Amino acid sequence: MKKTIFLLTLVLTLSLAVFTQSAFASAPSALKQGASSYEVTTLQTILKNQGYFNSEITGYYGTETKNAVTKFQKANGLTADGIFGTNTRNALYAAASQHYLRTYDDNDIYWLSRLIEAEAQGESYTGKVAVGNCVLNRVITDSYPNNVVKVIFDTNYGVQYQPTKNGTIYNTPSQSSVNAAVAALEGARPVGKCLFFYNPRTSASSWIKNNRQYYTSIGNHDFHI
């Protein structure tokens, strides 16, 4: 039976939660045109998943992002000012949870962001999301455990992710990796149904290359189904 993965919110409001006290930031102030940040990247991802934003995800809050926010506001009876403030944020994430019928919690963000940081530090934002994509595909695949932490630390077929062996899984993630984790949990799928990734220039094993179907390359990683 397929398991449910988890889908609710990126930047949780102050009344809802804090991402582990030292590692994650509290809810941001309102976002508006001219802003440029990883928070905007995640906003664009959620809007894109819901059909309001059809452009490239850039992390810059330009005219197209403002228009997408305005469109969402109009559709939900909010003040259509194109500013992503508290009321719009709450409505957007409530709509996301109803649409996907999934939930995730701080623990999933905590571990997924650490794996992404350890495996894809220095990679593009898309490359980081792709790593999270692979992990979550395993969560919903019967051959693997049914939650994020168990997938990351799974050893049924040997150590699956070297950071769990060399200790880098415990490093504090960058904000980019945190947002990439949330984007993947929100449903971003840059590598579709891929279950595997590796760096062909540094990997000592060719098992993935020889046994799994190649899908695409992003930065230093090859992704396989």
Average pLDDT score over the chain: 84
Q: State how far the Cα of 75 lies from the Cα of 123, in Å rounded to an integer.
A: 36
pLDDT tens track for 42-67: 788 788 877 899 998 888 999 999 99
The DSSP result for 126-185, as a single string, is HHHHHHHHHHHHHHTSTTS-SSHHHHHT--BTB-S-THHHHSGGGSPPPHHHHHHHHHHH
Q: State the CATH number of the domain containing residue 203.
A: 1.10.10.2520
pTM for the full predicted model: 0.64
Residue 131 forms part of a structural domain: yes
Query: Comparing C-alpha atoms, which of 168, 170, 169, 217 is closest to residue 197?
Result: 217
Residue 173 forms part of a structural domain: yes
Residue 202 forms part of a structural domain: yes
pLDDT band of residue 188 (cuts 50, 70, 90) is confident
Residue 147 has pLDDT above 60, yes or no: yes
Res 95: pLDDT: 65
Residue 160 forms part of a structural domain: yes
Ramachandran angles phi, psi of 13, nearest 5°: -70, 160
Choice among 37-46, 71-80, 103-112, 153-162 with the minimum mean pLDDT: 37-46
Residue 185 forms part of a structural domain: yes
Helix/strand/coil for 215: strand
Query: How many structural domains does the chain have?
Result: 1
114 in Cβ contact with 19 (< 8 Å): no
Residue 120 forms part of a structural domain: yes
Longest C-alpha distance within the chain, in Å? 56
Choice among 49-58, 69-78, 100-109 with the minimum mean pLDDT: 100-109
Which tokens sit at 71?
Answer: 């469109």
* Domain containing residue 133: 106-224
Residue 42 forms part of a structural domain: no
pLDDT tens track for 21-31: 333 334 447 99
